[in-house]
Structure 1
Amino acid sequence: METLAAINRWLAKQHVVTWCVSCDGELWCANAFYYYDPARVAFYVMSDEKTRHSQMTGERTQVAGTVNGQPKTVALIRGVQFKGEIRRLEGEESDAIRKHYLRRFPVAVALSAPLWEIRPDELKFTDNTLGFGKKLCWLRAEQA
């Protein structure tokens, strides 16, 4: 559990996630501001349904991505890689998450784009501040 706690603390300080989806042999990546829920171990992003990545996602699909800082020194590199599933939120579930998202990013109140849940099944946190190449790994199956 300490591994997940360390990952959660770092993710709470970041705000942009990159994720990639695949459909019919094509790959596409996107970036967005995120709200992260440590209890669910899930990212929530707002993205218009007309975007290429949303069109490729459909109801739900496999996803992989990263969250990383931009340090100038190798010793300070920190970042998370993940794989899991992305799905569009609907109804009350979407309404509840939207409140959290708008609290974090008030400027998004002007947008009517849908919310999406990125639910990682695996997280790998590289943290060079703990030693060069130090990795902390978490699997959702370990929590079941």
Structure 2
Amino acid sequence: MTISPTSILSKKVLAFIQSQTVITLCVCDNNLPYTAMCYYVYLPEENIIVFKSKRETTHMNAALKNSLVAGAVRQDKLLSTNVVGVQLTGMLLTNNNSSLLSVATRKYYMKYPFAVAVSGDIWMIRPDAIKYTENKMGIMGKEEYRLIAE
């Protein structure tokens, strides 16, 4: 059972995830890790991360073989005295619900209108755990959330 992120994530964490632009996607194929960076949009009501990538890329081939993925988002503008980021685990959604994919596609292109001109497909990840880290001048703060009931 999925738990609504808007009811469990703090407003600070939701605001952070929604305000950033790039996710580092982490996949594994034949025990070999691989990463890729993609523009993304997070839709908390649906609890999905939406990104665009070509099906034939190394990371998408790996994710299509093993839909369990991880990711990391750090702030777009780095400050040496304040490091903020999110680590997450989740699942690539491969049996796309057409209405959910339609909403995801529309929201993605609203945030990144230039991406219409770039080839590729829209993909979705459903996070099941999110860990927020904030390091201000050596003071580390962490918040962890499970988005799937165990």
- TM-score range for the pair, normalised by the shorter chain length: 0.7 to 0.9
Alpha-carbon distance, 1:60 to partner: 5.8
> CA–CA distance in 1 between the matches of 2:66 and 2:124?
9
1:5 corresponds to: 11
2:28 and 2:66 in contact (8 A); partners too: no
Q: Does 1:16 align with 2:22?
A: yes
Q: Which runs of structure 2 are paired with 1:1-144 in the superposition (5 Å)?
A: 1=7, 3-58=9-64, 61-69=67-75, 70-74=77-81, 76-88=82-94, 89=96, 91-129=98-136, 132-141=139-148
Cα deviations across residues 89-121 of structure 1 (Å, max 9, x unaligned)? Answer: 464432321111111000011134111111111
> CA–CA distance in 2 between the matches of 1:21 and 1:38?
23
Alpha-carbon distance, 1:37 to partner: 0.5
Query: Relative to structure 1, is the Cα distance of residues 96 and 45 closer, same or farther in structure 2, using a 3 angstrom cutoff?
Result: same
| Residue identity opposite 1:26 in structure 2 | L
2:4 corresponds to: none
> CA–CA distance in 1 between the matches of 2:66 and 2:50?
14
Cα deviations across residues 46-93 of structure 1 (Å, max 9, x unaligned)? Answer: 00001111111116611111000252323x111001111113446443
Unaligned ranges ≥5, structure 2: 1-6
User: Once structures 1 and 2 are overlaid, which stretch shifts more, 84-93 or 96-105?
Assistant: 84-93
1:42 and 1:117 in contact (8 A); partners too: yes
> CA–CA distance in 1 between the matches of 2:12 and 2:137?
11
> CA–CA distance in 2 between the matches of 1:33 and 1:19?
10
Alpha-carbon distance, 1:31 to partner: 0.5
Query: Relative to structure 1, is the Cα distance of residues 59 and 39 closer, same or farther in structure 2, using a 3 angstrom cutoff?
Result: farther
Q: TM-score, structure 2 length as denominator?
A: 0.83
Unaligned ranges ≥5, structure 1: none
> CA–CA distance in 2 between the matches of 1:108 and 1:85?
23
Aligned-CA RMSD value: 2.3
- Which of the pair is proportionally richer in helix? 1
Number of paired residues?
Answer: 142
Query: Relative to structure 1, is the Cα distance of residues 39 and 26 closer, same or farther in structure 2, using a 3 angstrom cutoff?
Result: same
Could you list the structure 1 runs, at least 4 aligned residues long, displaced by more than 4 angstroms after superposition. none
